[in-house]
Amino acid sequence: MESLVDTYKKSAVDGMEHFLKVFSFVPDDKLDWTPAPTAKSAIRIAAHTALYPARFAGMISNRKLPSHDNLEAWLAQRNAAEVAITSREEVEMIFRKGTDQVLAALESLTPEEIEMTLDSGFGWSVPMTWLMNLSGIHAIAHAAQIDYLQTCWDDQEVHF
């Protein structure tokens, strides 16, 4: 029987691979297209998705959620990091590196740490198992955003 760590490692890799496959069907001339002025483009969604596994790995490795004492500054930094990624190659490289970090962080957990609950600092707590599964879920959720954008330019194919 597969261990919990192995299950979540598989989820992280499968989620990444699924996202990258769906993203590969975005035509080059549609990478920056948005359905509305305030909406995110496919490249921006991909950049966001690619950057987060490293962040999740840090939370798992540190056994704590980040503190956002200055949420506005943190969001500005996050947004700047996303905008700085401008190519498919960067997305894939960052995504794969971050996912490797998630796999290593998952391997580092002891059985006791897997059972722990992390304080959010906002009055609620998060089970470590939820955080362990987040990388895969996050990638799948954002792949659905790419799917939606594809329907906006009349790509009705199912890409998986």
Q: How does DSSP assign 11-66, residue by residue? A: HHHHHHHHHHHHHHTS-GGGTT--SSTTSPPHHHHHHHHHHHHHHHHHHHHHTSPP
Higher-confidence position of 74 and 84: 84
pLDDT tens per residue across span 35-47 = 999 999 999 999 9
**CA 9 – CA 103 distance, rounded (Å):** 6
What is the structure's pLDDT at 19?
Answer: 98
Average pLDDT of 2-9?
93
In this predicted model, what pLDDT tens digit does every residue of 127-144 receive, in sequence order?
Answer: 999 999 999 999 999 999
Q: Could you write out the DSSP letters of every residue in 64-97?
A: SPPP-TTHHHHHHHHHHHHHH--SHHHHHHHHHH
- What mean pLDDT is reported for the chain? 93
Going by pLDDT thresholds of 50, 70 and 90, the confidence category of residue 159 is low
Residue 2's pLDDT is 72
Query: Which CA distances in Å does 135 have to 69, 99, 125, 154?
Result: 24, 8, 18, 29
Q: What is the pTM of this model?
A: 0.93
pLDDT at position 33 is: 96
> Could you give the C-alpha distances from 5 to 1, 57, 99, 151, in angstroms and in order?
12, 13, 14, 36
Cα angle, residue 128 at apex, residues 122 and 131 outer, rounded to 5°: 80
Q: What is the pLDDT of residue 122?
A: 78
- What mean pLDDT do residues 93-116 have? 97
Across the range 113-127, mean pLDDT stands at 89
E-strand spans in 105-156? 117-119, 125-127
